[in-house]
Structure 1
Amino acid sequence: MGDKPPGFRGSQSWIGCVEASLCLAHFGGPKGRLCHVPRGTGLQGELERLYSHFSEGGGPVMVGGDADARAKALLGVCLGPAKEAYVLVLDPHCWGAPANPGELQAAGWVSWQKVTTAFDSNSFYNLCLTSLH
């Protein structure tokens, strides 16, 4: 698509959310709307956007950061009993078809995590919110 040097083609180098968004557009997949969050603590300010995204039928949210190299995808957001915010995190390295959703959770591929601990406060994040609309 021209955004990487020629040596990138055929490599096993990682791509980020920006590149994933470009791939979605290039290959006619779902739309990928980008959202940049300068610091992990700023994710608290994006909870309403994430809630609206999911409640309006939006798909998984790809997450990439700089200091936080743990790849993750968000599948949902909720408030806990003490008004603590949680995100439903999927490890994007997960593959195959599980026998049931509990298998994914038992293996640690999917888990609810507190927003305050799921994101590194010193890392920036790019979110790619996927949608068919």
Structure 2
Amino acid sequence: MATANGDADFGDSSPASLKIAPKDYAYPLLEDPQRTLATPTEGGQTLGIRGGFSYFHYGCDGHQDAGWGCGYRTLQSAISWVNRRRGGLEPVPSIPEIQQILVALGDKGPRFQGSRDWIGTLEEFYVIDVLYQLPCRILHATELGSPEVLAQIRSYFEKHQGFIAMGGLTDTASKAIVGYHSSAEGRIFLLIVDPHFEGVPSSRQQLVDEGYVRWTPVDEFPASTYNLCLILQP
């Protein structure tokens, strides 16, 4: 059952007992923000996400998380995609609900609830596992642009056409990867959906124009160790 403030109530404090409360957003969230973006080059190979998702970003539900909530927002977008692929429109957990799950799991201590602590790809996997019993693959990349890592990303989009949540040690800004492109010359681009937007986006094109939805060459990512959560939704 939901509490008076719209957050979930664990009841017996077990993650399995969590019921995600329905949400009423102040404005409609943008759907599939990458839909109008052209491929970065002509020709080559392009692979992308199958199924729709909602674009969650800083403050989109009234919870002010600018500067610390990007991991939660990427997770929310991922969960909206899982819901769509499963044929339903189940509510997406709020930031307080995500924190409740992680505390109930024992991954975080009680002080985490209501905090501004970041989460990364491992915590995102824990939440997806609890809510959906859905396997994810955690890919640790010491070099995002290495041939081995890029081959695994390409294989993932070939097999699953899914949603990848990504964070890095130096590049601490969480983001999603929803597409892969190899140019005719062999240059690799990743389709990024960045949750750091603040305010109310007027259109998909605004997000493209301001760089929140973009094709990024892999050689332009900051040097860092990256952790990727590949959601293995059938």
Range class of TM-score, shorter chain: 0.7 to 0.9
Alpha-carbon distance between aligned partners in 1 of 2:122 and 2:169, rounded to the nearest angstrom: 13
5+ residue gaps, structure 1: none
5+ residue gaps, structure 2: 1-104
Local SS of the residue matching 1:51: helix
Of residues 127, 139, 144 in structure 2, which corresponds to 1:23? 127
- Residue 132 (str. 1) matches residue 221 (str. 2): no
Distance 1:59 1:92, change over 3 A: farther
| Deviation at residue 92 of structure 1 after TM alignment | 2.6
Alpha-carbon distance between aligned partners in 2 of 1:89 and 1:108, rounded to the nearest angstrom: 9
| Deviation at residue 57 of structure 1 after TM alignment | 2.8
| Percent pairwise identity | 29
Q: How does 1:59-98 map to 2 (within 5 A)?
A: 59-93=162-196
Distance 1:16 1:104, change over 3 A: same
Aligned residues: 129
| Deviation at residue 81 of structure 1 after TM alignment | 3.2
What is the TM-score when the length of structure 2 is the normalising length?
A: 0.49
Aligned-residue CA RMSD (Å): 2.2
Q: Which residue of 2 aligns with 1:7?
A: 111
Alpha-carbon distance between aligned partners in 2 of 1:39 and 1:81, rounded to the nearest angstrom: 23
Higher gyration radius (CA) = 2
Alpha-carbon distance between aligned partners in 1 of 2:119 and 2:229, rounded to the nearest angstrom: 12
What is the TM-score when the length of structure 1 is the normalising length?
A: 0.82
Letter in 2 for 1:77: Y
- Structure 1 segments (4+ residues) deviating >2 Å: 29-32, 38-42, 92-99, 101-104
| Deviation at residue 111 of structure 1 after TM alignment | 0.5
Local SS of the residue matching 2:132: coil
| Deviation at residue 93 of structure 1 after TM alignment | 3.5
Q: Deviations over 1:22-72 (max 9, x none)?
A: 000011175321111124444x42112111211223321110111111221
Q: Which residue of 2 aligns with 1:110?
A: 213
Q: Which structure exhibits the higher relative contact order, with contacts defined as CA atoms closer than 8 Å and separated by 6 or more residues?
A: 1
| Deviation at residue 84 of structure 1 after TM alignment | 1.0
